[in-house]
C-alpha cells in the first residue's frame, strides 16, 4: 500500500515538493486454518513476507466471488452489487487511514502504486515547468533502505537520464533517515520526497488481507496531482483503468475493517510475543528467568543462545519500531542466515525481504546501510510474528534454531 500526501511548502515557499510515505505490505491468499494444516506442525514466523487470510477475509472474498460476480461498471443489479462492495471496501480503507473514500485508488499491489507515484511526480514536474525550464530534469529524494519498488524505478530513471535521485543514508545511531539530512538533499528541481513508513526487513504493518493494492492520495487530481500509467475504460476515475478485482477488493476492505476494530489488541499481542522471542533468544542459559517468563517456560531455558551470541540488528537507541519484527544475527563463522534456516526442521522464516530471496548469502543492503558489519549482516535472520503467534510456538522455534546451529557447528568441527 502507498500513501501519497498533499503538497507542502518547503523553505521560503518558492518551491513545492510532494511528500509521499510508503508502506509495503505482504498478504497471503490462504485461510489461516488451511495454511496451518498444510504446514504439518511447522512454526510460521515469516509474516512480513506474507500472511494467511483472516477467516473473515476469506469469507468476504468467497462471498464476493459467488454473489458479486458482475462487472462493477454495468448498470444492472449484478454490476450494482459489485460496485456496492467496492464502495464499502473503499470506505473501510479510508476510515483506517483517516482519509476520505474518494482518496482511495485501488491498484494491483504496492509496486504498481509506488510506480504510479514516481510517474506522477516526474510528469507533474514537466507539466509545471516545461521541458525547456532551467531547473532541468526532475529530482527525487528517498532513503538508502527503500523497498525495490521505489529504489529500482528511480535507478532506471537515472539510467535513462529522465530523473535524478538522492538516496539519503540512514543514521547508524537511529537506523532512520534523519529529517535534517532529507531537507539538505532537496534541490530546486526536487519534485518528490519518498520515505518508508517502516522498513520491511525491520518492521512492517500487516493486514491479514489478500494480495491487492490501494493508493491513498489526498484529493487526487485536485489538491494532489495523480497521473495514470494505464489508459482504458475509465475505472477508478480513470486513474487506474481496468475492470476492478471485486473479490480481492472486498477482502482488503474486510481486513481494514478488522484493523479498525481490533488494532490495539493486535498490536499488544504481537509486541508481547515479539518481546518474548527476543528475551528467549538472548537470555543466559545459566541465568535466572525474567519474572514474567519464569512460570511454565517448558523448553525455554534450553533454547536460548545468550547475549554474547545474539546481535539484534534493529535495536537503535531512541528509535521506535513496529511491534512484530525481530531481525537478529547468531554470531559465529559459517552461520549464514540461509544455512541456519536450511537446517531448521520446524521454523519457517526468512533472512530479509522475500524479493531478495535469489541473492544468495550476500548481506542485506538494508542492514549494510544501517552500518551493520558484513560478517554480522550475512548471518541475519528476520522472524516476524503474527496476531495468532503464541509463546509456545516461539519456544519451539528457538529450540529449532538452537539445534540447527549445533548441527552446523558439529559439521564444521575438525
Q: What are phi and psi of 318, to 5 degrees?
A: 85, -5
Cβ–Cβ < 8 Å for 177, 197: no
Cβ–Cβ < 8 Å for 65, 79: no
Strands 104-107 and 164-168: unpaired
Task: Report helix angle 77-97 to 246-282, nearest 10.
Answer: 30
Report d(CA 219, CA 99) in Å as an integer: 10
Cβ–Cβ < 8 Å for 206, 48: yes
Cβ–Cβ < 8 Å for 315, 334: no
Specify burial of residue 204 (Cβ count, 10 A radius: 0-12, 13-18, 19+): buried
Name every residue whose Cβ is closer than 8 Å to that of residue 276 and which is 6 or more positions away in sequence.
Answer: 293, 391, 394
Q: Is 36 a catalytic residue?
A: no
Written as nine digits, the cell of 87 is 464502495
Q: Which position among 36, 62, 297, 355 bears the catalytic label?
A: 355
Question: DSSP string spanning 184-198?
Answer: HH--TTEEEEEEESS
Question: DSSP string spanning 92-119?
Answer: HHHHHHTS-GGGEEEES-HHHHHHHHHH
Give me the sheet containing 310-312, strands edge to edge: 310-312, 325-330, 380-384
* End-to-end CA separation in angstroms for the chain: 50
Task: Report helix angle 148-159 to 110-129, nearest 10.
Answer: 40
Q: Known catalytic residues?
A: 355
Amino acid at each position: 500500500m502507498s500513501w501519497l500526501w498533499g503538497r507542502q511548502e518547503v523553505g521560503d515557499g518558492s518551491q513545492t515538493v510532494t511528500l509521499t510515505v510508503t508502506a509495503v505490505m505482504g498478504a497471503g491468499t490462504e485461510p489461516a486454518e488451511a495454511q496451518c494444516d498444510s504446514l504439518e506442525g511447522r512454526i510460521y514466523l515469516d509474516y512480513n513476507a506474507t500472511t494467511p487470510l483472516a477467516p473473515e477475509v476469506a469469507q468476504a472474498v468467497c462471498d464476493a466471488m459467488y454473489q458479486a460476480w458482475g462487472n462493477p461498471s454495468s448498470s444492472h443489479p449484478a454490476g450494482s452489487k459489485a460496485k456496492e462492495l467496492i464502495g464499502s471496501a473503499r470506505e473501510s480503507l479510508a476510515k483506517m487511514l483517516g482519509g476520505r473514500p474518494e482518496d482511495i485508488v485501488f491498484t494491483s499491489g504496492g509496486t504498481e502504486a509506488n510506480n504510479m507515484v514516481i510517474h506522477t511526480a516526474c510528469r507533474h514536474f514537466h507539466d509545471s515547468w516545461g521541458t525547456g525550464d532551467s531547473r532541468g530534469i526532475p529530482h527525487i529524494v528517498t532513503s538508502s533502505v527503500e523497498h525495490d519498488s521505489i529504489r529500482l524505478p528511480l535507478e532506471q530513471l537515472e539510467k535513462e537520464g529522465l530523473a535524478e535521485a538522492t538516496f539519503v543514508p540512514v543514521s547508524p545511531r537511529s537506523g532512520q533517515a534523519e529529517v535534517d539530512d532529507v531537507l539538505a538533499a532537496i534541490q530546486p528541481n526536487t519534485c518528490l520526497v519518498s520515505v518508508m513508513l517502516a522498513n520491511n526487513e525491520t518492521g512492517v504493518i500487516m493486514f491479514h488481507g489478500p494480495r491487492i493494492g490501494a493508493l491513498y492520495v489526498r484529493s487526487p487530481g485536485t489538491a494532489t496531482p495523480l497521473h495514470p500509467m494505464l489508459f482504458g475504460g475509465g475505472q477508478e476515475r480513470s486513474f487506474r483503468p481496468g475492470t476492478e478485482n471485486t473479490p480481492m477488493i472486498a477482502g482488503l476492505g474486510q481486513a481494514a475493517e478488522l484493523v479498525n476494530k481490533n488494532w490495539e489488541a493486535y498490536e499488544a499481542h504481537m509486541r508481547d510475543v515479539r518481546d518474548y522471542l527476543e528475551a528467549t533468544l538472548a537470555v543466559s542459559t545459566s541465568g535466572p528467568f525474567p519474572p514474567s517468563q519464569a512460570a511454565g517456560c517448558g523448553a525455554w531455558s534450553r533454547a536460548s543462545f545468550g547475549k554474547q551470541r545474539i546481535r539484534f540488528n534493529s535495536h537503535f537507541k531512541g528509535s521506535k519500531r513496529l511491534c512484530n519484527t525481530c531481525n537478529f544475527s547468531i554470531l559465529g563463522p559459517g552461520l549464514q542466515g540461509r544455512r541456519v534456516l536450511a537446517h531448521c526442521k520446524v521454523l519457517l522464516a526468512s533472512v530479509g525481504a522475500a524479493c531478495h530471496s535469489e541473492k544468495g548469502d550476500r548481506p542485506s543492503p538494508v542492514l549494510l546501510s544501517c552500518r551493520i558489519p558484513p560478517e554480522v549482516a550475512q548471518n541475519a535472520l528476520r522472524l516476524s510474528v503474527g496476531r495468532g503467534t503464541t509463546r509456545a510456538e516461539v519456544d519451539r522455534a528457538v529450540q529449532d534454531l538452537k539445534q540447527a546451529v549445533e548441527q552446523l557447528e558439529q559439521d564444521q568441527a575438525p
